[in-house]
């Protein structure tokens, strides 16, 4: 029988592949008329990280998180900091044999309370992330997806059922930025955030501010207003400083003043938890939105103190959004 | 830029010594611009373009266990032949 073309239904690109062709994500291949994922149980990056590195700040602070990634990504961001794995075929990375059962076993062995699917793009290694997440839940571990959120609704909802928290990279707030810099689209990512909210996933958002490309404070204000209106004011937002990488090495690092201006804008729009990343000397503490007291004090990825009591401010009793135990 | 070296009021003007480096600079700038544009265009993989895999190599790698072949969960047979 002649092998047929197949259409991948995982992400909005919906690559239609003739036999022997590879999808835009580099990891899904039409072999004899069947769509095969080449990265199931084969991570190319395996680390134990502080959870603050993801970053997720309102999720089991001060704990370790078992972090895995495979080759490939369905976006092609010109500023990707992990392009050496995200923009590579799995045949060209050094992979480890780590099936879902081994992920859970290793996470427990290393004293982790959760598993992160991160570094490259978990939506691209969907089946591996989903099956590992299901087993992790059974073993009492939590799951965090660190993702660009570029996925179709049906698989996303399936993954959400075994996901506790996510850090979604909201890379910009115009379709043009997503099209020209990332090879994706904004509408899909916004829909992903809405679906995660509906499915009860605790969301944090990261916005990397790139000079000249997405540093317009008017757009940053629009983005913050959308977050407050659609997801609520309790979603932690991380503004991250850009450093020249990959195909954007000609740009300069984001000035600290730009990052701080963005933080001020986000606060004025009503977001309660706004953090600044990659800027030395700027605190990343969690403050109580009720009384302003410092609740979680951080230096780099280290938690110096955590004063939360059952997820509440010990001084005024305000409940702080997050997963604390 | 034209090759006409007659000024608007009809006076013939001689080629200035600075013209040649200027022309060279413009040419180099144009060439670099084209190179940059080509580079930017290469960044985005066209949606219709799906590279062929070395299927023998992939199958061998799957057999050897350096890759794990597993049928994906979200796909369908395409309608087009």
pLDDT tens-digit map of B4-36: 334 444 444 444 555 667 777 777 777 766 555
Q: Is the pTM of this model over 0.95?
A: no
Q: Are B42 and A76 in contact (CB under 8 A)?
A: no
From B44's Cα to the closest Cα of chain A, the distance in A is 6
Same domain membership, residue A317 and residue A184 = no
> Do A297 and A265 share a structural domain?
no
Task: Give me the CATH number covering residue A46.
Answer: 3.20.20.70
- For strands A114-117 and A64-69, give the pairing: parallel
Residue B71 tokens read as 């049928």
Residues of A within 8 A of B53 (CB-CB) are 20-22, 29
pLDDT at B1 over 50: no
- A250 and A325, same domain (yes or no): no
State the Cα–Cα distance between residues B48 and A16, nearest whole angstrom.
Answer: 8
Q: Looking at the structure, tell me whether residues A307 and A211 fall in a common domain.
A: no
Are residues A201 and A301 located together in one domain of the fold? no
Q: Are residues A299 and A183 in the same domain?
A: no
The two three-digit tokens of residue A56, written as one number: 């997720």
For tokens 């701080």, what's the residue? Answer: A260
- Based on the fold, state whether residues A197 and A152 are members of the same structural domain: yes
**Is A6 part of a structural domain of the chain?**
no
Look at residue B72 in the predicted model and tell me its pLDDT.
97
State whether A142 and A40 are in the same domain: yes
- What was the pLDDT predicted at A281? 81
Residue B43 has pLDDT above 90, yes or no: no
Domain contains A75 = yes
Interface test with B, best of A3, A20, A180 (most B CBs within 10 A): A20
pLDDT digits (tens, 9 = 90+) for A286-323: 999 999 999 999 998 999 999 999 999 999 999 999 99
Containing A209, the helix (H) or strand (E) segment is: strand A202-209
Angle of CA points A155, A158, A163, to nearest 5°: 120
pLDDT for res B11 = 45
Contact A78 B43 (CB under 8 A): yes
Number of structural domains chain A divides into: 2
Give me the pLDDT at residue B42, please: 45
In order of A42, A106, A129, A313, the CA distances from A123 in angstroms are 15, 22, 8, 35
Per-residue pLDDT at B28: 75
Q: Would you state the pLDDT for residue A63?
A: 97
A306 and A253 inside one domain? no
Q: Are residues A238 and A101 in the same domain?
A: yes
Residue of A6, A29, A31 with shortest CB distance to B78: A6
Name the burial class of residue A198, with classes exposed (0-12), middle (13-18) and buried (19+) by CB atoms within 10 angstroms of its CB.
exposed
Identify whether residues A108 and A205 lie together within a single domain.
Answer: yes
CB atoms within 10 A of CB A307: 15
Residue A228 placed within a domain: yes
* Segments of chain A with pLDDT less than 70: 1-2
- The answer to the question of residue A9 being in a domain is no
Residue where the block lists tokens 């910009």:
A172
The confidence score (pLDDT) of residue B8 equals 45
Q: Which domain holds residue A238?
A: 36-282
Determine the residue of chain B that is closest to A11 in CA distance: B74
What does the DSSP 8-state code read for residue A91?
Answer: G
Q: Are A14 and A6 in contact (CB under 8 A)?
A: no
If we measure between CA atoms, which residue out of A203, A266, A265, A209 comes closest to residue A235? A203
pLDDT at position A282 is 85
C-alpha dihedral, A322 to A66 to A183 to A276, nearest 10° = 50
pLDDT of residue B48: 53
All residues of chain A having their beta carbon less than 8 Å from the beta carbon of residue B74 are 8-10, 126, 152, 154-155
- Residue A110 is assigned to a structural domain of this protein: yes
- Whether residues A156 and A142 fall in one domain: yes
A169 within 8 A of A148, measured Cβ to Cβ: yes
User: What DSSP element (H or E) covers B59?
Assistant: helix B55-64
> Do A78 and A181 contact (CB within 8 A), yes or no?
yes
User: What residues of chain A lie within 8 A of the CB of B44, using their CB?
Assistant: 76, 183
Residue A320 lies in a domain: yes
Closest residue by Cα to residue B77 from A49, A272, A2, A322? A2
The candidate with the shortest Cα–Cα distance to A53, out of A118, A150, A100, A141, is A118
Is a pLDDT exceeding 90 seen at residue B45? no
B70 interfacial to chain A (CB closer than 8 Å): yes
């Amino acid at each position: 029988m002649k092998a047929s073309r197949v259409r991948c239904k995982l992400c909005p690109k919906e690559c239609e592949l003739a036999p022997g062709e590879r999808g835009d994500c580099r990891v899904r291949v039409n072999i004899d008329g069947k769509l095969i994922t080449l990265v199931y149980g084969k991570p190319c990056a395996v680390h134990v990280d502080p959870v603050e590195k993801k970053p997720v700040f309102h999720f089991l602070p001060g704990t370790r998180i078992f972090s895995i990634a495979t080759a490939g990504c369905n976006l092609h961001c010109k500023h990707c900091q992990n392009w050496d794995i995200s923009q590579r075929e799995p045949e060209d990375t050094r992979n480890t044999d780590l099936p879902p059962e081994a992920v859970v076993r290793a996470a427990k062995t290393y004293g982790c309370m959760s598993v992160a699917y991160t570094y490259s793009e978990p939506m691209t290694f969907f089946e591996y992330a989903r099956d590992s997440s299901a087993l992790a839940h059974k073993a009492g571990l939590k799951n965090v997806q660190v993702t660009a959120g570029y996925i179709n609704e049906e698989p996303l909802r399936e993954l959400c059922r075994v996901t506790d928290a996510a850090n979604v990279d909201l890379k910009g707030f115009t379709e043009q930025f997503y099209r020209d810099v990332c090879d994706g689209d904004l509408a899909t990512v916004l829909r992903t955030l809405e679906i995660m909210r509906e499915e009860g996933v605790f969301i944090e958002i990261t916005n990397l501010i790139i000079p000249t490309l997405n540093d317009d404070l008017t757009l940053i204000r629009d983005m913050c207003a959308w977050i407050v209106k659609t997801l609520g004011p309790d979603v932690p937002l991380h503004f991250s400083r850009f450093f020249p990488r990959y195909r954007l090495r000609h740009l300069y690092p984001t000035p600290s003043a730009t990052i701080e201006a963005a933080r001020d804008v986000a606060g004025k729009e009503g977001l309660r938890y706004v953090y600044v990343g990659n800027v030395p000397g700027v605190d990343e503490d969690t403050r109580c939105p009720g009384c302003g007291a410092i609740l979680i004090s951080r230096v780099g990825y280290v938690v110096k103190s955590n004063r939360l009591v059952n997820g509440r401010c010990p001084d005024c009793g305000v409940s702080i959004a997050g997963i604390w135990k | 830029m034209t090759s006409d070296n007659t000024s608007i009021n009809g006076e013939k003007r001689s080629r200035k010594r600075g013209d040649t480096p200027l022309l060279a600079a413009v040419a180099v700038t144009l060439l670099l611009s084209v190179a940059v544009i080509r580079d930017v265009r290469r960044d985005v993989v066209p949606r219709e373009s799906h590279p062929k895999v070395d299927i023998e190599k992939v199958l061998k790698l799957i057999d050897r266990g350096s890759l794990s072949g597993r049928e994906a969960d979200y796909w369908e047979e395409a309608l087009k032949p």
